[in-house]
Amino acid sequence: MYDSSKSFALSMDQNDRLSSYRQQFNYPKNHLGEDLIYFCGNSLGLQPKTATDQMKKEFAIWSEKGVLGQESRWVAYHERLTRSSANLVGANETEVVIMNALTVNIHFLLISFYQPNEKKFKILMEKDAFPSDQYAIQSQIDFHGYDPKDALIEISPRQGEKLLRHEDIIDSIDEHGDELALIYLGGLNYYTGQALDMENITSVGRARGVTVGFNLAHSAGNVPLELHDWGVDFAAWCTYKYLCGGPGSPAGIFIHERHHDWEGPRLLGWWGHDKGSRFDMPSSFDPIPTSEAWQISNAPIMGMAPLIASMEIFEKIGMDTIHQKGFQLSSYLKFLLIESLPKVKIITPDERGCQLSIVVPGGKVVFDFLHDNGVVCDWRNPDVIRVAPHPLFNTFTEVSKFVDILKRALERQ
């Protein structure tokens, strides 16, 4: 399917129907004005060129209209992201809303969906989840008066392995199902790049009467999702990674429609109140009968403007096509590494998006060489380099060049 010649990489780029989208992003350059090899869309996606115009529109309205811009444009501004976000994660439009930041949203969701009792009070999550998830879960357990040592069940790879085995997750759900109040997992592991079988995990968990939620920080914009059809209870994701919404851009939540008549605990704020009477300033809360009821405050307009520019691109192309190219890029990278650099260990499985996590001899020294030679990827202790060619702005030729630079780095060892 692949070969290691430069002409092959060039032909892949020439036949790539997404190749023109690279021109829609501002691409980082070195001090000589040459393009860097930017394989870090899993940390911060690049800026769509249309983001500047989108920001200018909002600044102009603010300048020209002041508070009058609220009524004419900003009150419903977040709704401009509803359809594209729903399509992104496989949801109904009533099930998604863009608001806040990721860990803030996780806390808001846990306030509602982690409801421990004397019998079912435990939470199942990965041992090596992203630290912010660990902090959030541990603090929520503390908040409810439980000890994380008793209430937290952490799934680990087997000894000597890097990846979670799906059967171990399912076995743990079956083993602890009578005690589990919540299953909370990363849909795609930030460290290894492993994508979990969210559909099956949800099915097994809900059959045992367990609430199921996912952190989709590395899934949204990277792999296709069908949250509604899978029956997921809730999920949250950020938008500054693969979705290219900009540093600190507002995050998203999904809450399945079966929870929209929610009568349980929920943190309240005026932007979750019924839109028809919100500005009547009533003292009693009347929730919007959708996921919007979990909103607290009005939308951060200047934070959402670049995200609107980016999501227009995702909506135009569709996640199936985006994922297909992302998987091709990482598959080509995998082929070249196996073909020419057998000392490189790839820990990411075939169940993945566009990220490959690799372990190399020399570790951090090799990473520093890559950085000094125009490659932007990232290092994760103790020994992993994460490489994520983004389907909207990276090329197969860049993948080939990256492997050449990596080979030079390893030859120095």
Q: Is 96 helix (H, G, I), strand (E, B) or coil?
A: strand
Reference 248, options 85, 103, 89, 39; nearest CA is 103
- Judging by beta carbons within 10 Å of its beta carbon (0-12, 13-18, 19+), is residue 280 exposed, middle or buried? exposed
Domain edges within the chain: 6-35+319-411, 55-316
Q: What is the assigned CATH class of domain 6-35+319-411?
A: alpha beta
Q: If one looks up domain 55-316 in CATH, what number appears?
A: 3.40.640.10
**Has residue 228 got a pLDDT over 80?**
yes
pLDDT (tens digit per residue) in 298-356: 999 999 999 999 999 999 999 999 999 999 999 999 999 999 999 999 999 999 999 99
Residue ranges in 158-300 assigned as alpha helix (H): 166-176, 198-207, 227-230
DSSP string, 153-178: EEE-PPTT-SS--HHHHHHHHHHHTT
Equal fold, 6-35+319-411 vs 55-316? no
Query: In the block, which residue shows the tokens 């690049």?
Result: 46
| pLDDT confidence band for 1 (50 / 70 / 90) | confident
- The single-letter DSSP state of residue 388 is B
- pTM score of the predicted model: 0.96
> What are 240-269's pLDDT values in tens digits?
999 999 999 999 999 999 999 999 999 999
Residue recorded with tokens 């290894």: 192
Long-range contacts of 118-121 (CB under 8 A, 24+ apart): 119/178, 119/179, 120/178, 120/179, 120/180, 120/181, 120/209, 120/210, 121/146, 121/151, 121/179, 121/181
Partnered with residue 386 across adjacent β-strands are 357, 378
- Sign of the CA dihedral 54, 55, 58, 60? negative
d(CA 308, CA 310): 5
Mean pLDDT, to the nearest integer, of 168-190?
97
The string of pLDDT tens digits covering residues 85-105 is 999 999 999 999 999 999 999
3-state secondary structure of 89: helix
